Chain A
């Protein structure tokens, strides 16, 4: 429970920062003030300024927006395609459809996820949209497998049998009986994938394949700061901490949610 609270608090802070940045940031992140570069943290610039004299606090706020947006859309893509595929495969267990879906998923899963992402952005050009698609694609097999696995055991339950006897089709059963019962698993997995998405976005931006300048992105801030570490450590420190704390928060929240939602764990306690 403590994990969940702490995780949610951390996540909420960044989410609020991202939301507020739509309306207001302390400074405009698209305006460069070269004369004011690499200033250490002060009352005027809480996190200092970067090598172009931009306010790092403002950039972290807008960067949170980029990270969260990319991760959310990627999770939505993964769930939106992965869950129906998993449900369909479970409903037709052992059929050709099941084989095609699951071997297709294995194929995607066999590639290291970041490698696919780099491949996609290398082919279609680096941009935030392509990063979202890339990260979203490797979320699909995660959700498909999870859904299928959980759904398979549910299909043997008596209430599913009763539904079949009552004449419900496979699609209706999947939507009305299976899906609600795998939802808790999906929420937990979604949180984890969300944090992985943020990491993946940071990694892609770090190598220059994510959101393109002038859109601030934590990964790129970190890459830009790399050679400045000795000169102005705060430039690397703040985006680094932002990534660390968001991912930590989401992982704690995910763990906490599983504790709350998983009936098996609840019984054990």
Chain B
């Protein structure tokens, strides 16, 4: 009898040993999508869960942000740059079994650019004059004017291809062409995707993927430590990262986001209407101390409102290097040798709350007293963002390529410079790539030398993953947690 039991145990051990390679993954996320249609809402969480996993577009983003072919097998641009002909992959099926053909592409693009479209990025489709289904696998898109970044636009999550027959239920039952099929959504808890065995391309390596929504940082820590989740995308508490790094069970991926984190100054409110004062504040701030103290070392110092991983980036941190003596001299020059008092309004994220305390201490050292108020997002939006009732505030601007906000004098920090406004207006109509880069660099320099705001650091994307899990994107070139290439190491 004993022998028999031993035999069974050994056999079970062997069996489980063979089946050890896990085929499912659970990814933790802070925010839950409001619904599941990426083509009708701006909420990033929708794309994070569904982009590339469930829905695909003609083009797509690769992990490094480059644009590669998606559902389009090849494409051709006419001489005048106004006609794009896309050839679709053959044998692509939607998850409900129907074939993908050019009519679906025409439907999707026409729906997105329609008068009554609720697409969050309608501008992406603005330039399309006509979409024509030439034959079942060929689509011809005619533009009103040549456009260098049209393929880039077609890679966005807002430009994915949907089928007309599934559109009514898309918000709760999304049907796409991706390597994963939508399975279940437990509201307030999780979304489950399962492998699409009929996938047209390289099939997913996992059988099942679950996105679990955990908003509390302490709960996120617990879930990760207990290995309830295999990865936590954009982990919310940087102070825990050192611990994950030290733990052989986990790897910390530190990537880039589009979030320029700034100490915004109210450019219309005294004394920040004086450039000398703004310059003094900029020199009073030690960026590295903030990155170390508030972000536990994660973040890249920036000297202007521009992401360091963008090719047009120039390093302007030298314009505002940490120099408290110079800050005091500048304050004296501005007639405020004794310093002044102002408000510092802080929204909830830890970069703001913690960063705010450090900044308050650094400003105090040069004689500027700040009255800190910690606000909830709704209060912050009402008082600081819309009401413009603040002296200083800290916020991360997470939209990609958003330097254009400096050309809006009514934007919350109220910077009004006609030169920059003209530059940005010219930029919008400029088609030449080199000239565009040059203009962006010019804009970076203008706002840096005008000390509009204090540019602190580029927010890092920190994702904690199980050390055996491979293929998670470290960066966020778009809102996506692409699991199609994710697998477990043996």
Contact = CB atoms under 8 A, between A and B. Distances in A.
Contact of A52 (B293, B371, B374): B293
A26 interface: no
Nearest to A37: B293
Interface string B364-379: 1000000111100000
Interface residues of A, number: 21
A226 interface: yes
Interface string A183-198: 0000000000000000
Nearest to A28: B361
Interface in A215-263: 226-228, 230-231
A178 B474 CA distance: 74
Contacts of B289: 32, 34
Contacts of B364: 30
A227 B240 contact: yes
Given A30-B364, A34-B289, A126-B374, A230 B357 contact: no
A51 B293 contact: yes
Given A227-B218, A231-B243, A126 B358 contact: no
A212 interface: yes
Contacts of A35: 292
A34 B218 contact: no
A244 to B, nearest CB: 20
Interface in B337-362: 354, 356-358, 360-361
B242 interface: yes
B357 A32 contact: yes
Interface in A189-212: 208, 212
Interface string B220-261: 010001000000000001011011000000000000000000
A32 B372 contact: no
B373 A34 contact: no
B292 A34 contact: yes
B217 interface: yes
A31 B243 CA distance: 27
A51 B218 CA distance: 16
Contacts of A32: 289, 293, 357-358, 361
Contacts of A212: 371-374
Given A52-B293, A227-B221, A230-B243, A34 B358 contact: yes
A136 to B, nearest CB: 21
A125 B358 contact: no
A167 interface: no
A231 B354 CA distance: 17
A112 interface: no
Nearest to B220: A227
Given A51-B354, A214-B357, A227-B218, A34 B293 contact: yes
B360 A51 contact: no
A228 B218 CA distance: 9
A213 interface: yes
B360 A214 contact: yes
B356 A213 contact: yes
A191 to B, nearest CB: 32
Contacts of B242: 231
A208 B374 contact: yes
Contacts of A31: 361
A117 to B, nearest CB: 16
Nearest to A38: B239
Contact of B240 (A53, A127, A231): A231
Contacts of A127: 373
Given A51-B293, A227-B218, A231-B239, A214 B372 contact: yes
A32 B354 CA distance: 12
26 contacts: A30-B361, A30-B364, A31-B361, A32-B357, A32-B361, A34-B289, A34-B292, A34-B293, A51-B293, A51-B354, A52-B293, A52-B357, A52-B358, A126-B373, A126-B374, A212-B373, A213-B356, A213-B374, A214-B357, A227-B217, A227-B218, A227-B221, A227-B240, A230-B243, A231-B242, A231-B243
Interface of B: 217-218, 221, 225, 237, 239-240, 242-243, 289, 292-293, 354, 356-358, 360-361, 364, 371-374
Given A34-B289, A213-B372, A230-B240, 8 more contacts: A34-B293, A52-B293, A53-B293, A212-B373, A212-B374, A227-B218, A230-B225, A231-B242
